Chain A
Amino acid sequence: MRSKSESQTLSNSTSNAAAAAMDSASSADPIHHLLRLVAFNSFLLRPPKLRLKLPTLTLPSSMTVYALVLLTYFLVVSGFVYDVIVEPPGIGSVQDPATGSVRPVVFLQGRVNGQYIIEGLSSGFMFILGGLGIVLLDLGLDRNRARSVKVSYASAGISSVIIAYVMIIGILAINFLGNANLRKKILY
């Protein structure tokens, strides 16, 4: 709380000056005079006695905020706004021409900017998994923890990143790159 400490030290060191300024009418500042009349007058300054007590709000810790931020990021990146506006089905379906049975299709084909709901959510989850993997890796390299905890964090982190990356690249390669040559370029 930098501002508060600044003003504290300021007020401590110059309280004499402040008292002197208050007492003497030597200040040429009209607002200062107005303030002296209105604000420093304890007679005038009595807020009404209210029955209701406003709840005291404490700021949440930064990690709580981070968790909320991650949730928002997950929703945005899963294409939540797209789901709300365009209202695609949860999962697509295609009819098998030979047998006539209906097969589910997870990924939307043929359009660039389109998705089904489930594919969006699962991809968003993969991104969060990858991000958290890197976070776990950083926690695993932290110096202040026990070694076993560090090792478990680090290994969990590395495996999350690898799984997430492989899943996403696999999805890209299979579904979005129709051309076989391009598929080879992107896969690994």
Chain B
Amino acid sequence: MVGAGAKKTTNGSPEVVKSGSGSSTMLKLKLKLKTKQQELLLRVSILCLVYVLAFITRLFSVLRYESMIHEFDPYFNYRTTLYLTEKGFYEFWNWFDSDSWYPLGRIIGGTLYPGLMVTAAIIYWLLRLLSFAVHIREVCVLTAPFFASNTTIVAYFFGKEIWDSGAGLVAAALIAICPGYISRSVAGSYDNEGVAIFALLFTFYLFVKAVNTGSLAWALASAFGYFYMVSAWGGYVFIINLIPLYVLVLLVTGRYSMRLYVAYNSMYVVGMLLAMQIRFVGFQHVQSGEHMAAMGVFFLMQVFYLLDWVKYLLSDTKLFQAFLRITVTTALAVGAIALGLGTASGYISPWTGRFYSLLDPTYAKDHIPIIASVSEHQPTAWSSFMFDFHILLFLFPAGLYFCFKRLSDATIFIVMYGLTSMYFAGVMVRLILVATPAVCLISAIAVSATIKNLTLVARAKNNNKVAHSGSLKGSTSSSKASSKASLDQSQPFQRNGAIALLLGAFYLLSKYATHCTWVTSEAYSSPSIVLAARGAHGNRVIFDDYREAYFWLRQNTPPDAKVMSWWDYGYQITAMGNRTVIVDNNTWNNTHIATVGRAMSSYEDEAYEIMRSLDVDYVLVVFGGVTGYSSDDINKFLWMVRIGGGVFPIIKEPDYLVNGEYRVDKGAAPKMLNCLMYKLSYYRFGELTTEYGKPPGYDRARGVEIGNKDIKLEYLEEAFTTSNWIVRIYKVKPPNNRW
């Protein structure tokens, strides 16, 4: 063994240990890797497992139902990606779509964020190049899980940058299964956020690396990362406000350095120029109020640089103090005047409603009902936080403590990212997604630091001689810990205590993993277009009514037919039904939506006038009274009234309520019982018995018997009702011949 001991540390290749007897030489083939190589193997294998885990945990709905696109917005993205792969980039970039928002049309090339579509198309073309004959739909369905796996890798490097590689590994593992991220990146959810979170984290990582190293290459890489983010999602405004805020905090705490100067300036200038290449963003970086913070900090950095240079040149401190005071006041005055002039003249547009409602959450409720009506835009209750984060909510304050204990440029960044994103997550449920990487990273720091402390105690050597052993890497506390732990009777107690706590920590983390998988399986893997319920005998019943209705539309209506429905279903109708719609989920024209809302809430004859003026051929409503489906148009009806009433004062919400209460039974308001939406939803429903023991016309979603059972339609006729009555399509009759 002496010979083997001498050879052990020279190289890491497998070697045969020579022992006394020759016959057992072959059996003693040992792989003697150095500790560094062992660590590398461990890290790489953990990252590979995490990568695979992040992908497969998002595949629940593909395995349960089929590989299809979920929800509403992804259908638009799928349709545009299809167009891109069929017609090419030039046609896509200059596309004017006359199939939606009839008769206005929509300039698709100029009003979308192309990052997601271009990414999916590139993956599709790459696979085609390698002779994999995939359909673009499969690529679209699996894009989000693929990018989620890439996000875990970026999270590893980011964690390594902020704290150390252990924290990086924990961060990658946490973010792979965190429900807050899974909810928007499950397979089939082909939406901007799936790619955007990867771009967000990637940009932040590159920027922090640039600030830490001061290298121009990293700064330019972060500018390109920012460009990718701008092309992918409207939430890039978060980056362009967080990074200047971070720079400001660094300046205030006296951490100005040449590295920061190089990093921020290169990133801002090149990033801004690249961002202007996206037509949808245009010149907003110099014209919009939301982007002015970045410009202000840019000029502030120049002032700091000037002051630093003058200080270096001057040897007289009193003169420099005077110069400092004058320069700072002048700079602030000039900045304030410029901002004032820009805002007053209207060149700098004020904050748009979407982002202003993040700063002042009560704004949307009073002024913009269409923003307030989206269910994802509601403020967050604690149960949603718990659902999406589980034990990370405990680890987040602890991680913040560790960051504050060891302040550096990188930890200040992650603290700021965490706090701002948690605030926004509190304002809007949808933004929990943006907070997830920060929460995972900070929690990873807490986990890593705590476990490191505990393992130090657990591995402390008993004897005093090994005070300075280098066996515990990377911590100066190792020697001190082992020298302090010299009391023999407390040694085993401390070690046992530490081991018990380690087991407790692993138990908590395993509960986290269980919770995440359960949440993913039960809550976040439903395609929304296909509904599932438990039948009477516990078997699963699937309602595929939406796709049935859209397919009927596609096959049984003339190709130039125009369909009027509430804006929720617009994207799906154009993508699957291939028919022109009046309004869709883009919601860019509030008056047009209000017109549709007015039509839905008026009496049939007034509604017929509006429908004739819009050339409507078919009307589509969603009705949940037979199945008990609660997201139907009758439950959304009050929003139609509010939005319609916001533009046409003739529609008044109190007309449809009884004593402030919304009812559909006998005691409902007369206007409610005779409006178009009521008639279209409950036509022939009064004859149907939905539940055993209840009278005919019992609405299972509202739990009441409807008030007006004898409905006669004068200007419309029923065209199609799906098998579970969820989607109902009506044909608008042409006007009578007057003779």
Point out the residues of chain A lying under 8 angstroms from B256, CB to CB: 3
Residues facing B in A144-188 (CB within 8 A) are 147, 154, 158, 161, 164-165, 168-169, 172, 176, 182, 185-186
| Interface-facing stretch out of B191-199, B476-484, B656-664, B673-681 | B476-484
List residues of B (239-264) whose CB comes within 8 Å of A's CBs. Answer: 252-258
List the B side residues contacting A3 at CB < 8 Å: 254-257, 308
Interface string of A1-23 (1 = CB under 8 A from B): 11110110011001100110110
B449 and A138 contacting across the interface, CB-CB below 8 Å: yes
Q: Which of A7, A70, A77, A169 has the most CB of B within 10 A?
A: A77
Chain A CB within 8 A of B315 CB = yes
Given A46-B322, A158-B501, A164-B394, CB of A115 within 8 Å of CB of B382 = yes
Residue B314 CB within 8 A of the other chain: yes
Interface assignment of B85: CB less than 8 Å from any CB of chain A: no
Contact A1 B383 (CB under 8 A): no
Cβ-based interface call for A72 (8 A): yes
Q: Is B582 an interface residue (CB 8 A)?
A: no
Contact partner, B402, options A10, A63, A138, A172, Cβ 8 Å: A138
Given contacts A66-B404, A138-B401, contact A39 B310 (CB under 8 A): yes
State whether B453 touches A141 (Cβ < 8 A): yes
Contact across chains for B394 and A186 when beta carbons are under 8 A apart: no
Q: Does A85 contact B (CB under 8 A)?
A: yes
Contact of B380 among A7, A70, A82 (CB under 8 A): A82
List, in ascending order, chain A residues with CB within 8 A of B255's CB. Answer: 2-3
Given contacts A4-B254, A18-B315, A47-B326, contact A135 B453 (CB under 8 A): no
CA–CA, A5 and B223, complex, Å? 30
Report B422-461 CB contacts with A as 1/0, cut-off 8 Å.
1101110100000000000000001001100110110000
Q: How large is the interface on B (under 10, 10 to 19, 20 to 34, 35 or more residues)?
A: 35 or more
A10, A124, A127, A161: most-surrounded residue (chain B CB, <10 A): A127
State whether the Cβ of B29 lies closer than 8 Å to any Cβ in chain A.
no
Q: Is B514 an interface position by the 8 A CB rule?
A: yes
* B590 in the interface (beta carbon within 8 A): no
Cα of A131 to Cα of B393 in the assembled complex, Å? 8
Q: Which of A85, A130, A158 is B361 in contact with, Cβ under 8 Å?
A: A85
Dominant SS among interface residues on chain B: helix
- Tell which of B325, B391, B404 touches A63, judged by Cβ atoms closer than 8 Å: B404
Contact of A143 (CB < 8 Å), options: B379, B384, B477: B477
B286 to chain A, nearest CB (A): 24
Cα distance A73–B382 when bound, in Å? 12
Size band of the A side of the interface?
35 or more
Residues in B with CB closer than 8 Å to A186 are 514-515, 518
Chain A, residue nearest B309 (CB): A35
A113 CB-CB contact with B under 8 Å = yes
Chain A residues with Cβ below 8 Å from B400 are 66, 69-70, 73, 131
8 Å CB contacts to B: which residues of A116-145? 119-120, 123-124, 127-128, 130-135, 137-138, 141, 143
Q: Is the CB of A45 within 8 A of B254?
A: no
Given contacts A62-B407, A137-B450, A143-B481, are A131 and B398 in contact (CB under 8 A)? yes
Residues of B within 8 A of A128 (CB): 397
Q: What is the CB-to-nearest-CB distance from B632 to chain A, in angstroms, rounded to a whole number?
A: 17
B386 touching A131, Cβ below 8 Å: no
CB distance from B388 to the nearest CB of A (A): 11
Residues of chain A with a CB closer than 8 A to B515's CB: 186
Across the interface, which residues of A come within 8 angstroms of B426, CB to CB?
76-77, 79-82
Q: Is the CB of B319 within 8 A of A42?
A: yes
Specify which chain B residues have a CB less than 8 angstroms from the CB of A46 in the assembled complex.
322
Whether A112 sits at the interface, judged by CB under 8 Å, is yes
Specify which chain A residues have a CB less than 8 angstroms from the CB of B396 in the assembled complex: 73, 131
Q: Is A52 an interface residue (CB 8 A)?
A: no
| Neighbour of B325 across the interface among A1, A47, A169, CB < 8 A | A47
B660 to chain A, nearest CB (A): 16
Binding site for A on B (CB under 8 A): 252-258, 308, 310-316, 319, 322-323, 325-326, 361-362, 365, 378-387, 391, 393-398, 400-402, 404-405, 407, 415, 419, 422-423, 425-427, 429, 446, 449-450, 453-454, 456-457, 477, 480-481, 484, 490, 497, 501, 504, 508, 511, 514-515, 518
